[in-house]
Every structure is written in structure tokens, then in C-alpha cells.
Amino acid sequence: MLRLGVNIDHVATIRNARGTPWPDPMRAARIAEKAGADGITAHLREDRRHISDADIDALMAGLDLPLNFEMAATPEMQQIALRHRPHAVCIVPEKREERTTEGGLDVAGNEAMLAEFIAPLRDAGCRVSLFIGHEPDQIRASARIGAAVVELHTGAYCDLDTEGRHAERDAELEALRKGAELADSLGLEVHAGHGLTYDTVAPIAAIPQIKELNIGHFLIAESVFTGLDGAIREMHRRMAAARA
């Protein structure tokens, strides 16, 4: 079965827009659990623009689903992760908004630093995931440094689809397929995510090596109209149909 991790960051974005206690990301996590989500993803950014330290405390204390804790490779975040020991830690580029066109984390260019950074997380029992592009160099470097998981960045594929650049989108999809095959052949568990919608999810969900999709912004956006429960169930249905 292909798992769905629901990213609840943008529930916190709406909350923080007004400085109120609502909407509460923990409430969203509970709804996601009831709707059949397989995990919850939350990104504690260095600038705390959405998820807060208190949100992570609440999720760790009250959530029955596994938490995928997204964070930059900084000493502060490493300390927080080691204190909480979440099920999974996904390392993402520190200034990702400036690097979306470049893809994900540069593992190949920071191999020694990242190997040292992830070792204590792995020793603490966290499944370490690296958010990377589909480039073979990045995938091979991720395997060399002992990551358990790579999450392939689907943002470019989704952007090309939205822009109607179908030939380039299909080339990107093919590169993601090849990347998933390579990662799987090296013993890495393969996840994917970023920018996925009802319209873009099926070809990604159909890639047989992918075990988990992490989806956030679209689900929270859609929930304005259909409710979070309905949005998650519909996404799961599309994922299962594509996999079948």
C-alpha cells in the first residue's frame, strides 16, 4: 500500500496570520488520522513561520500516528529532534524557498557534513529521510551516507503541469521514475512530495517503488471547500486507484 503523510504546516500558517490559537494543527492531525492518513508531517522552520515548537511538543505528546519531522540541517534542529525522537526526520534545504528551481538538498556537495549530521539521529532511532531531486549523484550520495529514505522532490513536475508545459512535465516524470528505480535498487525507501494535487498525484502514485507521498498545501486549500476529512479521503482514493 502507498502511504499518505498529511503535512499540516499550512493549518499553522492560517493560525499565525491572526495570532489566534485557531485553527489548531493538532486538531487537523486528529481529523487526518480519522480520515485514514498514515502519518503526519510537520516542518519546524528556523523562522517558525508556521509550525511552532509548542506544536511539535503537542504532536509528540498526543499523536498516535508516526510523525515525520521536517527540518534543516542545523545544530538547533538536531537538538530538538534528538529531544523528541520522532518516527522520522526529513532533512530539507535550509532556504528552500530560494532553491526550489535547484531541486532538493545538495547531498553530493555536502556529503561529509550530512553524514556526520544524520548519524546521531539514526542512532537515536529516527528514520532519516533526505529531500532531494532525482539526480543520480544525489541519490547515490544519500545511500552512501546511510539515509534510510529519500523523498523525491515533485515540485518541478507539478509546476510544469500547472504551466501546461506537457513535454517537459513528462520528461521530469520520467526522471522521477528513473530516480525511484535507482534509489530502490540501492536499498533506499522512496517517498515523494511537494506541490501534489488531485490532478498531478496519479502518475506519481503509479511509480511502484514509491512507498509514501507527503502532501500538504493542496489538502489544506481544498479543505476550505470540502473539509479536511473529505479532501484526505479523496486524495487517498486517487492514490489507491493509480497504484491499482
- Ramachandran region of residue 153, left (φ > 0), alpha (ψ -120 to 50) or beta? beta
Q: ω before 120 within 30° of 0 (cis)?
A: no
- Using the rule CB under 6 A, is 9 a contact of ligand PXP? yes
Residues 127, 149: Cα–Cα separation, whole Å:
7
Based on CB atoms, which residue is closest to ligand PXP, 158 or 167?
Answer: 158
Hey, which residues are catalytic here?
Answer: 43, 70, 194
Rounded to a whole number of angstroms, the minimum distance from the CB of residue 173 to ligand PXP is 17
Rounded to a whole number of angstroms, the minimum distance from the CB of residue 198 to ligand PXP is 12
Residue 120 · residue 78 · CB < 8 Å: yes
DSSP 208: T
Rounded to a whole number of angstroms, the minimum distance from the CB of residue 151 to ligand PXP is 5
- Using the rule CB under 6 A, is 214 a contact of ligand PXP? yes
Residues 6+ apart with CB under 8 A from 87: 39, 66, 67, 68, 126, 127
- Using the rule CB under 6 A, is 55 a contact of ligand PXP? no
- Using the rule CB under 6 A, is 50 a contact of ligand PXP? no
- Using the rule CB under 6 A, is 151 a contact of ligand PXP? yes
Rounded to a whole number of angstroms, the minimum distance from the CB of residue 220 to ligand PXP is 8
Residues shown for the chain: 244
CA 87: distance to chain centroid?
13
Of 75-83, 115-123, 180-188, 190-198, the window that binds ligand PXP (rule: CB under 6 A) is 190-198
The type of residue at 58 is A
Task: Write out the residues near ligand PXP by the rule CB under 6 A.
Answer: 7, 9, 43, 70, 90, 92, 131, 151, 193-196, 214-218
